[in-house]
Chains A and B, each alone.
Chain A
Amino acid sequence: MGIGTYLALAAVLFGLGAAGFLTRRNMLIQLMSIELMLNSVNVVLLAFNRAYPGNHDGQVFAFFVIAVAAAEAAVGLAILIAYYRIKKTIDTDDATLLKY
């Protein structure tokens, strides 16, 4: 399998994540979509690392991405819970307090 297959997979994953983020209104699903996009990036990093195995930069960066994703998920879920306590909903259409 060439690197193109991996990249195609990553592109598909990223597209799914982006589409999900933009179209769904459930905050929990949006957070999951973000995870999907981040993981597609991980796939790209690992694929390149496999194609050019001179060093392990790609794998190291994949770990960084995972760590950031974990932190982001924690913060995002905390915001979600706080938001739910105020609004009794997790629909992003109602989260428009920061408009003009």
Chain B
Amino acid sequence: MHVEATQQILLLLIILFPLGGAIINGLLGRYMPKGLVTLVGVGSVAVSFALAVASFIELYGLGNEAVLAYHFYEWFSLKLPSGDVVPVNVGFLMDSLSGVMTLVVTGVGGLIHLYSVGYMGEDEGYPRFMSFLNLFMASMLILVLGSSMPVMFVGWEGVGLCSYLLIGFWYENRDYASAGRKAFVVNRIGDFGVLVGMFILVGVAGSFEFADINAAAMGGQFRPDFPIWVLGVAPSFATVACVFLFLGCTGKSAQIPLYVWLPDAMAGPTPVSALIHAATMVTAGVYLCCRLSPLFITSDVAMAIIAVTGTLTALLAASIAVVQREMKKILAYSTVSQLGFMFAAVGVGFFAAGFFHVFTHAFFKACLFLGAGSVMHAVHAHGDADIFKLGGLKKDLPITRWTFLASCLAIAGFPLTSGFFSKDEILLGAAAQIYRPDDALMTFVGWFTLVGLTLAAVMTAFYMFRLYFLTFTGDYRSADQSGDHPYDAHPHESPRSMTIPLVVLGLGALVVGFLGLPHVMPITGTHLHSWWSKWMHSSVAGQPVPEEMHIVNLASGLAFGAMAIGISAAWVLYRNKDTDALAEKIPARVYQLAFDKWRVDELYAATIVNPIKKVATVAGHADMTFVDALMTRWPSFKVRETGRILARLQNGVVQMYGAVMVVGVVAVLAWFWTPHSRIEAGFEGTNVELTTPQGLGYEYRWDANSDGEFETEWDEAAATTFDYRYDDIRGVAVFLVNVRSGIEQRIDVTDEWRPLPIESVVSVEFLSPRDTGFEVRLDGRDLLFRKPDGRTKLSGSKEIRLPLGKDGRLGPARVFSRPLVEATVEVRNAFGNTRRATKEIALPFSLEAPSHASLIRPTREVAR
């Protein structure tokens, strides 16, 4: 069904341009003039945007079923337990979903780069900032365009890194640096979830590619029960995988329980807040859910968890935003809340609607953040701006004011703005869930989501217009310079590079909603053409959009009512006012608790962070006392002590060194004065090869049978062979062998009777009484065995005779004897000193007794 276009090098170039910009600005930026830094930083993203547009036009021409793909190279491959080898390809893919996301990332990102020229131009870290921002663009594009989980994960980690770097951009401030760390650490928890989810996916689907995973999900491969039970029920593979993936989404997209890093992330420069922490990176979780929507939709449990979590997050964050005093903080909680809306949409199966909210949110939230930045720039506020010290800025900042108002209307859901359409669609999804004839869980989730999101929408409209009225209407409260730390008395409109992005994004916030018109108009019931859902249909799964009039009217009515109530309340309480009127209307304790963000950070500190810190302290002490002191310092101390003692030998007196050398030379000479040798035997048939280590200047002569006559003359060869005869036998060696294990042992046997130690090679439990209790002695060269108790008759006689070379069997043991011979070698060294070495050798074969005919000793043939 997918139309695969051939290798699209454009997809690679879209990523490589910002990456190259990041490298150039990062390595050379500080040596380049500012204009060149701007050209590289903004230009690379602009080119990337142009390429993205070109690719999207080509994709659009091919139709929404088409896919643009680029296979770069095979990164590595993985062997699954099943034996399958799964390749991990670095490949990029643009379909209708990632195409739109790429346009948003490069388009909004490009505008924010342009804005940064004005906002950050005077900062001494400007090249570094541009480099990080470009690196973020590259990572985000890898995340969006990656065709498989690992490639996406590279981007996922890359944007996390850039987020960390940019939050802590002004790292001289300890609070800002620790905010960056917090973001990073909290995201690690989520990344763990993504990894686990990824492994489950590849384990079931046998592929890392999104297309294969989704195909497997549609084929029902994720339906079987997971082997580990939870709470007495077996969840399906889909449920487990989705819950772990969603854990990753809660980290990256700031949902309960991992949302706490995002408000702190406002420590970064305002363009960073707009780009990373509002428009693009934090929506990566929603993007991932949409990317894997065929998988998510197979698990009702996971979907319910996502919907409830999203709704709770939307409510919690909105309730905090209502009472905050600082512009960026309000916008940060607003972002968390809006992300909750998106996940609620995902949770009720309206992936396209959730992603539509990502799309519209990117415009109005980026515009709001940039507007806040513009205000801060105008009044010279650092870090954040307290709205109770602002007011009346509509006179001095007309462009900022109008774009900010447009975005406020959009986020509040004012009719015909972009937020109106996207939020309406989400509420419609929640309402549809109620009327779906599935089960009680579905209905409950539907009600919960619908009511929760409506409340959150009321609060959204309220706090956004509270922010707007307190900032732009009334009188400028820092004008008389009498208050506590007032801002600049004479605010001014921002430069062109900052206002152009504001205007573009503000216009976008007003109009982009028309891409996603509702299927059915409320009240009139007219059917409309929704470009968005048709375009997304091929790449994103989802529940059917309801067309019943009562559902449509319910959703639209709630959305419109929420917007109207919120804006009206803000109008009454805050228009042209300069105090927080809400604080007087609600109980002070509740107000304070909400202002303290419901003390969630303190709760986490008490339950999780501090216990871990205590464990770390203990571990640190253990490290210092055990590893550092006992295992490192103590040995080094001992070595130093020993060295100090031995160093006394180096007394510096030359005669001493000379004397020691003479002693050493004398010792060496003494050792060489007499020769040293030993014999080793090797066997080849009945020939025995005798060797001895060759010494320099040594000569050898052999007496192989030790009869006192040397068979060879003095010679430098260190080896000889000898053919032993029966007469050469000097004794008998007796061996016991465990037949099963092969354990062999030589035992000592003499002419006296002594017990046969059969237990030394065979355990007692393997022996029968028949095999034990023997005594053994040598009779000549034969072995004699007997049982001393005399009760056991052995083959009619009292004793058993075992001739030399014959085997006897005792249960699992074998007993046999071997002829012993003795070899002698005499060695002579260059000084003329000699020494003898002898060795007993047990021959591994038996020697026959001579017959009468050969009693006369034959002449030996000795080979050297």
Query: B654 within 8 Å of A by Cβ?
Result: yes
Query: A86 within 8 Å of B by Cβ?
Result: no
Q: Is the CB of A92 within 8 A of B655?
A: yes
Give chain B residues whose Cβ lies under 8 Å from the Cβ of A1.
none
Which residue of A22, A96, A100 is within 8 Å of B648 (Cβ)? A100
CB-based nearest A residue for B662? A18
**CB of A23, distance to nearest CB on chain B (Å):** 8
Give chain A residues whose Cβ lies under 8 Å from the Cβ of B648.
100
Query: B173 within 8 Å of A by Cβ?
Result: no
Which residue of A18, A22, A25, A96 is within 8 Å of B652 (Cβ)? A96
Bound complex: CA A98 to CA B655 (Å): 13
Which residue of B647, B653, B659 is within 8 Å of A93 (Cβ)? B653
Q: Is the CB of B647 within 8 A of A100?
A: yes
Q: Is the CB of B652 within 8 A of A99?
A: yes
Q: Is the CB of A22 within 8 A of B655?
A: yes
> What size tier do the contact residues of chain B reach?
10 to 19
Q: Is the CB of B653 within 8 A of A22?
A: no
Q: Is the CB of A99 within 8 A of B650?
A: yes
Which residue of A22, A25, A95 is within 8 Å of B662 (Cβ)? A22
Q: Is the CB of B659 within 8 A of A22?
A: yes
CB-based nearest A residue for B649? A100
Give chain B residues whose Cβ lies under 8 Å from the Cβ of A93.
653
Bound complex: CA A26 to CA B651 (Å): 18
Q: Is the CB of A97 within 8 A of B652?
A: yes
Give chain A residues whose Cβ lies under 8 Å from the Cβ of B652.
95-100
Bound complex: CA A99 to CA B644 (Å): 12
Which residue of A22, A25, A99, A100 is within 8 Å of B658 (Cβ)? A22
Q: Is the CB of A100 within 8 A of B662?
A: no
Q: A63-91: which residues lie under 8 A (CB-CB) from chain B? A: none
Q: B612-661: which residues lie under 8 A (CB-CB) from chain A? A: 647-648, 650-655, 658-659
Bound complex: CA A30 to CA B652 (Å): 16
Give chain A residues whose Cβ lies under 8 Å from the Cβ of B659.
22
**CB of A80, distance to nearest CB on chain B (Å):** 12
Bound complex: CA A47 to CA B659 (Å): 28
Q: Is the CB of B651 within 8 A of A100?
A: yes
**CB of A53, distance to nearest CB on chain B (Å):** 22
Give chain A residues whose Cβ lies under 8 Å from the Cβ of B658.
18, 21-22
Bound complex: CA A70 to CA B659 (Å): 24
CB-based nearest B residue for A99? B652
Bound complex: CA A25 to CA B654 (Å): 10
Give chain B residues whose Cβ lies under 8 Å from the Cβ of A96.
651-653
**CB of B350, distance to nearest CB on chain A (Å):** 83
Bound complex: CA A92 to CA B659 (Å): 14
**CB of A25, distance to nearest CB on chain B (Å):** 8
Which residue of B650, B654, B655 is within 8 Å of A100 (Cβ)? B650
Interface CB pairs A-B, < 8 A, 10: A18-B658, A18-B662, A22-B658, A22-B659, A96-B651, A96-B653, A98-B650, A99-B651, A100-B648, A100-B650
Inter-chain pairs besides A22-B662, A25-B655, A99-B651, 10 sampled, C-beta below 8 Å: A18-B658, A22-B655, A30-B654, A92-B655, A96-B653, A97-B652, A98-B650, A100-B650, A100-B651, A100-B652
Interface residues of A (CB under 8 A from B): 18, 21-23, 25, 30, 92-93, 95-100
6 closest cross-chain pairs (CB), A and B: A99-B652, A96-B652, A100-B647, A100-B650, A98-B652, A99-B651
